[in-house]
Amino acid sequence: MKISFAAPRMPRSGTVVVAIMEDRKMSPHASEIDKQTGGALKRAMEASRFTGKPDETMMIPAPANMGDVSRVMLIGVGKPRLGDRSVRQNRGGVILAALNAVGETNAAFFVNAFKGKDTAMAAADLAFGAKLRSYRFDKYRTKEKPEQKPSMKELTLLVDGPKAAEKEFEPLDKIADGVIFTRDLVSEPANVIYPESLAAEAKKLASLGVEVEVLDEKQMKTLGMNMLLGVAQGSRKPARLVVMQWKGNPRAKNKAPLAFLGKGVTFDTGGISIKPAGGMEDMKWDMGGAGVVIGLMKALAGRKARVNVVGIAGCVENMPDGNAQRPGDIVKSMSGQTVEVINTDAEGRLVLGDALWYCQDRFKPQFMVNLATLTGAIIVALGHDHAGLFSNNEMLAERLVSAGKSVEEKLWRMPLGDAYDRMLDSDAADMKNIGGRDAGSITAAQFLQRFVNNVPWAHLDIAGMTWSKKDTAIVPKGATAFGVRLLERFVADHYEGK
């Protein structure tokens, strides 16, 4: 879908979108159209339950004196709130969904200069939300009828100062590209995205100036990454470790970079501790953490963020063949610590443990934030409304929570502590990879913390947030890319240009 910006003018065709405030108070352009059409908008509202509540919509067939315009769409804005960007972005998604629902192909929205508002930013936010909502993973649908497909081809934001709006939209457009890239990676089936092909997708970021290197199994073996390699040994698809570097702030080249790491289990059968068959197809998105890190790097590089960032993705496939890791096996990690593998379905922490140690050993980062679809226990605890946050650093945790709130990707701080850590003690090795049935998401985080050595660190358990079974304003059902916008905002608010 093409998104453009233009000065306010009555379009010649398609749908005209105008804002209505609470109690049916019309915006300036809505009032103008109502006057030109002999009160058609007012009569239509009075004959309906539409009152201008936030994101309430109403479609009105265009009166005859509006030329080839097909309809007028009313969008409720309630009481416009100064600076509430997430509200505007959601509204852009609501508008696009409503237009697709009636089969419209092109539309123009009059973005009104409400007192005190920055209309250029408002228009950019609306466009950003519309682009995010326009996403659809349909490359394998070969028999859809035209009426089953999204219809919108062009959306124009009519705003005073369209060039300024375009400039505001440019970085948002690049962030949306990162979100869409992540959604594509997570949506692909495991016969398409596996460790080698996921690494190949990451390599495409080189065109944006990201330095990408891929470690193979021989290199990882030399480094002692036996936890990560142990997960992969039952698969015919060899493991890969993807290392991405965006060096956007040359003046800070001697300063420690920021580091983000993702679990990239491209398919998780559970290994020998095999999962139940029902729902196992969902495990194609067990690489969601790695997908977010790759999409974040694309977003930061795309908008030329003035920051130095390392992104690492540990990519494996967990399969149960004759060479697969067994429950009871003991492996030596890159850190030198030994791990008794009690359950081969607790594999993501093994992958991340070696990746975390590698990251801090090589890059000496300011902090490390890892993302993983790590535990079902976090879904039991938090459902699908919050991701779990675990951290050893108060400032880091507070900044992540704040960034999450600002983009509506919410985090909930979970506890860490010695009592939970002791649940991982093993009689045969330095630790077990699970702590039992109780506090499963917490003991998983405690396991990861054992591979963090005096570095500020946060772990985001996104198991409940990576995939959605229903549409929201800017997230169509399916892969959400939860974390890309959160971490981009986190970086922009606190670390860029410093």
DSSP string, 245-299: EEE--GGGTTSPPEEEEEEEEEEE--TTSPPPSTTGGGGGGGGHHHHHHHHHHHH
DSSP state of 430: S
What 3-state class would DSSP assign to 492?
helix
Assign domain 193-494 to its CATH architecture. 3-Layer(aba) Sandwich (3.40)
Query: CA 58 to CA 477: how far, in whole Å?
Result: 23
Place of tokens 């570097």: 245
Asked if domains 2-164 and 193-494 share a fold, the reply is: no
Q: Which residue reads 């649908």 in tokens? A: 141
Q: How many DSSP H helices and E strands does the chain contain?
A: 15, 20
List of residues 6+ apart from 309 with CB closer than 8 A: 245, 246, 248, 257, 258, 259, 260, 297, 300, 491
Residue where the block lists tokens 């790097």: 297
What gap in Å lies between CA 264 and CA 54, rounded to an integer? 39
- Threshold 0.85, pTM exceeds: yes
- Read off the amino acid at residue 257: P
The torsion angles phi and psi of 92, rounded to 5 degrees, stand at -60, -40
Distance CA 244, CA 292 (A): 13
Query: What are the helix (H) ranges across 318-439?
Result: 348-363, 377-382, 394-407, 418-422
Which string of DSSP letters, residue by residue, matches 121-165? HHHHHHHHHHHHHT----TT--S--GGGS----EEEEE-SSHHHH
> Would you call 275 a catalytic residue per the annotation?
yes
Assess contact for 307 and 246: CB atoms under 8 A: yes
**Cα 298 to the center of its chain, rounded Å:** 12
Name the one residue in this structure whose structure tokens are 């369209």: 162
Q: How far apart are the first and last CA of the chain?
A: 36
Q: How crowded is residue 418: how many other Cβ atoms within 10 Å of its Cβ?
A: 7
Q: Give the integer Cα–Cα distance in Å for 34 and 156.
A: 21
Report the relative pairing of strands 478-479 and 411-413 from DSSP bridges: unpaired
Angstrom distance (rounded) from CA 261 to CA 370: 4
pLDDT the model gives residue 83: 64
Within 10 angstroms of residue 78's Cβ, the number of other Cβ atoms is 16
Its sign, for the CA torsion 439, 443, 446, 448, is: negative
CA distances from 438 to 267, 288, 343, 380, 420 (A): 26, 25, 15, 12, 9
For tokens 């913390």, name the residue: 449
- For each of the chain's 498 residues, which pLDDT tens digit applies? 999 999 999 999 999 999 999 999 999 999 999 999 999 999 999 999 999 999 999 999 998 889 899 999 999 999 866 568 999 999 999 999 999 999 999 999 999 755 445 899 999 999 999 999 999 999 999 999 988 999 999 999 999 999 999 999 999 999 999 999 999 999 999 999 999 999 999 999 999 999 999 999 999 999 999 999 999 999 999 999 999 999 999 999 999 999 999 999 999 999 999 999 999 999 999 999 999 999 999 999 999 999 999 999 999 999 999 999 999 999 999 999 999 999 999 999 999 999 999 999 999 999 999 999 999 999 999 999 999 999 999 999 999 999 999 999 999 999 999 999 999 999 999 999 999 999 999 999 999 999 999 999 999 999 999 999 999 999 999 999 999 999 999 999 999 987
Q: Which of 25, 221, 247, 275 is catalytic?
A: 275
Residue of 320, 357, 351 lying closest to 433 (CA atoms): 351
Q: What angle do CA 478, 482, 485 make, to 5 degrees?
A: 130
- 3-class state of residue 443 by DSSP: helix
Catalytic residue from among 183, 263, 349, 399: 349
Place of tokens 């979970």: 414
pLDDT of residue 84: 83
CATH topology of domain 2-164: Leucine Aminopeptidase, subunit E; domain 1 (3.40.220)
Query: Domain map of the chain by residue range?
Result: 2-164, 193-494
Residue in 368, 385, 395, 394 with CA at minimum distance from that of residue 454? 368
Rounded-to-integer distance, Cα 310 and Cα 301, Å? 12
Distance from C-alpha of 378 to C-alpha of 373, rounded to nearest angstrom: 9
Provide the sign of the torsion angle of the four alpha carbons 242, 248, 254, 259, taken in this order: negative
53 in active site:
no
User: For residues 483 and 409, is the Cβ–Cβ distance under 8 A?
Assistant: yes
Q: How far apart are CA 336 and CA 414, in angstroms?
A: 28
